[in-house]
Amino acid sequence: MSSNSPSSINQPSPSQRESLTQLTTDRELLLQIHWAWNSGATPAPMLDAAFEQCIASLKKLGGKPITRTQCDTQVIGTDSQIWHTASVWSLPSPEALQALVDSNAFTSLNSHASSVRALVGIQPKRLTQRALRFARLMMRLLPAPAANSAIPSAAISGGVNPTVEQFDAFKGSPQHTTIHMFNLLKFVPEVSINGLTKTSEKCTSGKSLYGELYAPVACQCIFRLGGRIVALGRYKFTLIGQGGDPSPNLWDEIAIAEYPGRSAFLRMLSNDLYQKAVVHREAALDRTELWATTPLSN
């Protein structure tokens, strides 16, 4: 079999398998997968059966599906690959992930795709997950953030923000259907935050700046809008894709957030509180990728 055949491209390379065998953690794992189907944006009927078989294998291993979505628009980033479907699955251990990857069901599902990208992350501690759920319950009692400011042009300037074309495509999609926003985040190692906060000049890591001054505000807005955090993970390596390179330093965090609609996401961008926090996001990020997707019923 050629090393460049679809069946080999859509499976882990030897170095990616080595990264999997070396993975050790006592926390649950996150597997985020993107597929570009041979049949195009409208998947062939046989895919439903292939998905059901793969999910059955996942559940037998103690895992669970978190979401399955249709990829609509890339909101931020320069990925040239057009993806059709994205899913996130939870697995209890590296051994369960290894067994899933080796299963006939997983191989069969990927054989229907012209391209596959699978990323492995480690989920937060259960205490963190419970804290997020509690915050969501409390914040939902508050009114939704007001859209009291125009979205600044700097927020549609490319880089770690959407381009004008990406933003227009997002606004041109249905506004009031639930969406799952798939985020990949890479932080700068160090950033000067003079002028961004009330503190004196100092330096901090991009990760701590994002976590302390942006993420709490963003979560508050999401929860008050009626959204939720679907999944979080600390990125470890690429299991499939990236030319077979595990790329352990490609990303830092994986995050999937649910909004009740694109209109809610735009409302957040137009909020004064959010706009004051978003400067910290821009300073903290080296690069990011963001996809707007529509959840599918399993």
Please check whether residue 180 lies inside any domain of the structure. yes
Q: Flag whether 260 is in a domain.
A: yes
**Do 131 and 196 belong to one domain?**
yes
In this predicted structure, the answer to whether residue 6 has a pLDDT above a threshold of 80 is no
Which residue bears the tokens 């959010």?
274
Are residue 117 and residue 159 in the same domain, yes or no? no
pLDDT tens, residue by residue, 161-216: 999 999 999 999 999 999 999 999 999 998 876 655 544 456 689 999 999 999 99
Residue 224 and residue 140 in contact, taking contact as beta carbons nearer than 8 Å? yes
Pair (153, 252) in one structural domain: yes
Q: Classify residue 242: in a domain, yes or no.
A: yes
pLDDT of residue 42: 73
Same domain, 33 and 139: no
For residue 170, the enclosing domain spans 126-295
Q: What is the pLDDT of residues 108-143, one digit of tens each?
A: 999 999 999 999 999 999 999 999 999 999 999 999
Average of per-residue pLDDT across 78-104? 95
CATH (domain of 248): 3.30.70.100
Say if 257 falls within a structural domain: yes
Instruction: Classify residue 244 by its DSSP letter.
Output: G
What is the DSSP annotation of 96-154?
A: HHHHHHHSHHHHHHHTTEEEEEEEEEEPPPHHHHHHHHHHHHHHTTSPPPP--SPPPGG
Q: For residue 17, is it within any domain?
A: yes
Ordered alpha helix ranges (H), the chain: 6-9, 14-21, 46-60, 94-102, 104-110, 126-139, 164-171, 206-209, 215-224, 262-269, 272-284
Structure confidence at residue 256 as a pLDDT band (50, 70, 90): very high
Instruction: Indicate if 92 and 171 belong to the same structural domain.
Output: no
Task: Choose one of 101, 122, 143: the last residue of a domain.
Answer: 122
Q: How much of the chain is helix, strand and coil, in % rounded to 5?
A: 40, 30, 35
- To which H or E segment does residue 183 belong? strand 179-187
Residue 234 resides in a domain: yes
By CB atoms closer than 10 A (0-12, 13-18, 19+), residue 17 is middle
Regarding whether 265 and 225 lie in a shared domain, the answer is yes
Sign of CA dihedral 188, 192, 197, 199: positive
Looking at residue 191, what is its pLDDT? Answer: 87
Domain count, the chain: 2
Domain boundary among 122, 145, 178: 122
Same domain, 222 and 256: yes
Residues 130 and 142 occupy one common structural domain: yes
Domain-terminating residue out of 122, 138, 155: 122
d(CA 100, CA 108): 12
Same-domain status, 133 and 191: yes
HSE-up (13 A, CA, CB side) for residue 278: 16
Kindly state whether residues 81 and 133 are assigned to the same domain: no
**Contact yes or no for 262/179 (Cβ under 8 A):** yes
- Give the predicted TM-score (pTM) of the model: 0.92
What secondary structure letter does DSSP report for 210?
A: I
Q: What is the pLDDT of residues 22-71, one digit of tens each?
A: 999 999 999 999 999 998 877 777 888 999 999 999 999 999 999 999 99
Q: Is residue 103 part of a domain?
A: yes
* Cα(106)–Cα(108) distance, integer angstroms: 5
Q: Which of 3-7, 82-86, 95-99, 206-210 has the lowest mean pLDDT?
A: 3-7
User: Do 88 and 188 fall into the same domain?
Assistant: no
φ, ψ for residue 176 (rounded to 5)?
Answer: -120, 25
Residue 42: Cβ-neighbour burial (10 angstroms; 0-12, 13-18, 19+): exposed
**For tokens 């700046």, what's the residue?**
209
Please check whether residue 1 lies inside any domain of the structure: no
If asked whether residues 130 and 112 sit together in one domain, one would say: no
